[in-house]
Amino acid sequence: MSRTVLKGAVCTFVLALLGSGIAHAGDPMKGKEKSTVCAACHGADGNSASSAFPRIAGQYEDYLFRALLDYKAGKRKNPIMAAQVENLGKGDLADLAAWFSSQEGLVFKR
């Protein structure tokens, strides 16, 4: 394999990696608009008042996005969450992840 072909392959790979993160970047303001249903369990800002539901505020955006995708695909098993994400597209999930990740979560003092 020539150096030129190898450099081209590496550049393509790097650009694909960079592009994959950008493709799912969500809009927090759109996520806020879409999060009204989520507020019933997780709280308006992702800080649930009930220990029965996880606090998702301040969680990493990519973690939240992956979790939502996994609920949608059935990789995570929760009938309530599966029903909530069933009719949402990747853009909707990205927006929700962006909104909740932008909120202030729990702060622990050490």
Q: What is the pLDDT of residue 59?
A: 95
5/65: higher pLDDT? 65
Q: What is the mean pLDDT of residues 40-55?
A: 95
Nearest partner of 31 among 89, 110, 96, judged by Cα: 96
The CATH number of residue 36's host domain is: 1.10.760.10
**Per-residue pLDDT reduced to its tens digit, 23-42:** 568 999 999 999 999 999 99
pTM for the complete prediction? 0.76
**Per-residue pLDDT reduced to its tens digit, 3-19:** 654 555 554 554 444 44
Q: Is residue 107 part of a domain?
A: no
Residue 103, CA distances (Å) to 6, 43, 62, 92, 95 in order:
43, 11, 14, 17, 13
Find tokens 């996005």 and name the residue: 65
Q: What is the pLDDT of residue 24?
A: 67
What domain range includes position 82?
25-101
Q: Is residue 89 part of a domain?
A: yes
Q: How many domains does the chain have?
A: 1
